Amino acid sequence: MSRKISKKNIAPLIMTAILLILITVSAVWIIYNEKSKGETVTIVSNGVTVWTGDLSSVNEELIVTVISDPSDEKSPYVIEGNSPRGSHYNVVRITREGVSIIDSNCANRICIHEGITNSPAKPIVCLPNRLMITVTGKAHDTDAITY
Amino acid sequence: MKKDTRKIVTLGLLAALSLAIYAFESILPPVIPVPGIKPGLANIIILFTLKRFGKKEAGSVLLVRLLLSAFLFGNATSLIYSAAGGFSALLIEIIFDKILSGNHLCLTGAFGGLFHNIAQLLVAILIMQSTPIFFYAPYLCISGIVTGLFTGFATHFLLKIKIPET
């Protein structure tokens, strides 16, 4: 303890501490919520809820296409099946295991790479198309943490 | 007069370099499939400009890069995201560099990266009008700090290079 904590050293120490705390809290939060499972799928496009449904009510698989073409007056809306059209669309696949985006005309395609989710802690977002898919609510066949 | 010209040319080159890194980064496939997670290597140039030239110069290089990247590869929405992230990061880096009296550049970079992502998350919540995006906060927090640390380290070593005077 010979090294004195001078005024010069205190700022970087505090900052390092803040960063470490933030990383720890984030990591714990991610690990803690990793296994949580949801049930109700909600698809929100441009701030409007365009589709909701339960994962358990899906038979084999359900494919819907979310259209959010600004030139289309009805948009945003959802049509059944894989039917891309317009300037902004995302094709969403819903199975009992979870929901995923299988096709999109956005530039970076991160939404497709996000994979399947059935967790309230991991929504799927497509920023260019302003699309957001969440899975919320208690699932019946799990004892995991839910909201 | 001659000195001014050299400075303008250097800043122009830095802006071009930053734009090139940004362009290269945007064609890389996403390593971690979470929106908003990027290496953020273009910010090395911004932090370097801040340290070597000053606030105004770093702000101008950033502005040039933002506008050019939006015209070349993006659109109005991507400009809002990158402007919010870029300027918050720069602001935080200016403040923290002052608090740390120019030392510990990796910490400055880490906070810059962190606030870059926080600003983008807030803009995303505003644009998408949807609060569940907040679930991405922990991922963005960690990625911002890690990539920011790297930005800081890289800038630290970059600053040791002397730009030729002739």
Please tell me the distance from the alpha carbon of residue A86 to that of residue A104, in angstroms, as a whole number. Answer: 11
ipTM: 0.81
In-domain check, residue B96: yes
CATH number for position B137: 1.10.1760.20
Q: What local confidence, expressed as pLDDT, does residue B1 receive?
A: 59
In-domain check, residue B163: no
Q: Is B131 on the interface with A (CB under 8 A)?
A: no
In-domain check, residue B32: yes
Mean pLDDT of chain A: 83
Domain limits for position B134: 2-158
How many domains are there within chain B? 1
**Residue with the larger pLDDT of the pair A66 and A139:** A66
Query: Which chain B residues touch A133 with a CB distance below 8 Å?
Result: none
Q: What is the CATH number of domain A40-136?
A: 2.60.320.10
By C-alpha distance, the chain A residue nearest B139 is: A26
In this complex, the residue of A12, A46, A134 whose CB is nearest that of residue B104 is A12
For every one of its 166 residues, what pLDDT tens digit does chain B have, with 9 covering 90 and above? 577 888 999 999 999 999 999 988 888 877 777 877 888 899 999 999 999 999 999 999 999 999 999 888 877 888 998 899 999 999 999 999 999 888 889 999 999 999 999 999 999 888 887 788 888 899 999 999 999 999 999 999 999 887 666 5
Q: Is pLDDT of A135 > 70?
A: yes
Q: Is pLDDT of A146 > 80?
A: no
CB contact under 8 A, A108 and B26: yes
By C-alpha distance, the chain B residue nearest A136 is: B132
The neighbouring-strand residues paired with A49 are A44
State the pTM of this model.
0.84
CB contact under 8 A, A132 and B136: no
Question: Tokens 């940004």 map to which residue?
Answer: B22
Task: Give the containing element (helix H, strand E) for A65.
Answer: strand A61-67
In-domain check, residue B58: yes
Q: Is B5 on the interface with A (CB under 8 A)?
A: no
Q: What local confidence, expressed as pLDDT, does residue A113 receive?
A: 87
In-domain check, residue B85: yes
Chain A nearest-CA distance from B143, in A, is 9
In-domain check, residue B164: no
- What are the residue ranges of helices labelled H in chain A? 7-33, 110-113
